[in-house]
Amino acid sequence: MARTTTRSTGHAERPPTLAQVAQRAGVSPQTVSNALNSPHLLAPLTLERVRRAIAELDYRPHQAARALRTRSSKLIGYGVHPTPDGVSGPVMDHFLHAFSRSANEAGYRVLLFTAPAGAEREPDCYAELLREQPVDGFVLTHTYRGDRRPDWLRRRAIPFVAFGRPWSTRPAGDWADVDGAHGTSAAVDHLVALGHRRIAFLGWPRGSGVGDDRAGGWRTAMRRHGLSARGLRAYAVNDVDAARDAVAPLLAAGTTAVVAVSDTLALGCYRALLDSGRTPGRDVAVVGFDDSSAAALLTPGLSSLCQPLPEVGRACTRLLLARIKDPQGTPEQVLLPPELVVRESSAYGPGGGGAGA
């Protein structure tokens, strides 16, 4: 049996050059450069011819050299924070995927780096990254009251966009966020339509911008329906056992429905009901927030508010690229409503007998 061998020259195949693309397209190297960096300068037919040559040769511009020419790295910095405890933790993973995808479609790559746990050291890691790697801008997450990052970046004229509001009176900058107040208000409307009147809120301790916003939506909706919110609010850190202990007194006092600030706290409400011999959904309605993967797997299935993360990712990309292009432009804010996904945990009115029971 004959054996086939492949002779190696000892040299890797060289990638195509810009000059070879120009020769294939029948244009000058400058025209190819314009097609890559300033396509608006070319006639449509010329641009199409160059792009066809690029595709045929599988040409990839050298990113470092391109950065020197255009003063753009095509990189966006993203500080990765520790994953929060609880079943709602993957929310930020979903956002990162959505943002990375939309940035990639715009010709950018997302550069991940570790964000420290201590708020006082946060700007330091941004400064360290900028010393080692040029980026065109940053996307900020996990915003909070007193966040130092926006001012630090603004003073250095570094473009950024935030997933989350600044929760302060300082200049807002560009941000996209989910309207938590709208979501919890919609949850109250849903429960009131089923006949519930004693609707409690299980939230995080006061001072959390996100948590206070969601609590505000619950309180506003209760007022709009002429219902008292007095004595119907409990607080817990984002922990199942802490939530179970916090909500137990409200359940014992006759609460017929609970709106939770997260699916993690909603799960704590499930445990408190089961501890007292009652069934979530049938005896007390429960609505969570984030529509985590666990929400559909629980028995009964947990009604929850789903954040529109693909839309948030696209909005953050659009806002950041606009800021990079026009550093002096007017800041823009985008607030998107979540969607209430109704499952068995809020399918009945008080007593499990349906609306008005």
- Identical fold between 18-62 and 180-307+341-352: no
Task: Tell me which fold the domain 18-62 belongs to.
Answer: 434 Repressor (Amino-terminal Domain) (1.10.260)
pLDDT tens digits for range 93-130:
899 999 999 999 999 999 999 887 655 667 888 888 88
Per run of 10 residues, the mean pLDDT along the chain (length 357 residues) is 38 74 92 81 91 88 50 87 71 92 93 76 84 91 87 92 84 90 98 98 94 97 98 96 98 97 97 97 97 94 97 97 93 97 95 52
pLDDT tens digits for range 245-300:
999 999 999 999 999 999 999 999 999 999 999 999 999 999 999 999 999 999 99
CA distance linking residue 298 with residue 294, whole number of Å = 6
User: Bridge-partner residues for 79, per DSSP?
Assistant: 113
pLDDT at 4: 35
pLDDT at 13: 61
CA distance linking residue 275 with residue 284, whole number of Å = 13
What's domain 75-178+309-335's superfamily in CATH? Response regulator (3.40.50.2300)
The CA angle 88-90-91, to the nearest 5 degrees, is 75
CA distance linking residue 314 with residue 154, whole number of Å = 22
Angle between helices 18-25 and 29-37 (to 10 degrees): 100
For domain 180-307+341-352, the CATH architecture is 3-Layer(aba) Sandwich (3.40)
pLDDT at 118: 58
pLDDT at 171: 62
The full set of domain ranges for the chain reads: 18-62, 75-178+309-335, 180-307+341-352
CA distance linking residue 274 with residue 317, whole number of Å = 44
Both tokens of residue 301? 């299935």
pLDDT at 124: 85
pLDDT at 8: 39
pLDDT at 70: 47
pLDDT at 61: 67
Picking from 143, 103, 88, the residue whose alpha carbon sits closest to that of residue 307 is 88
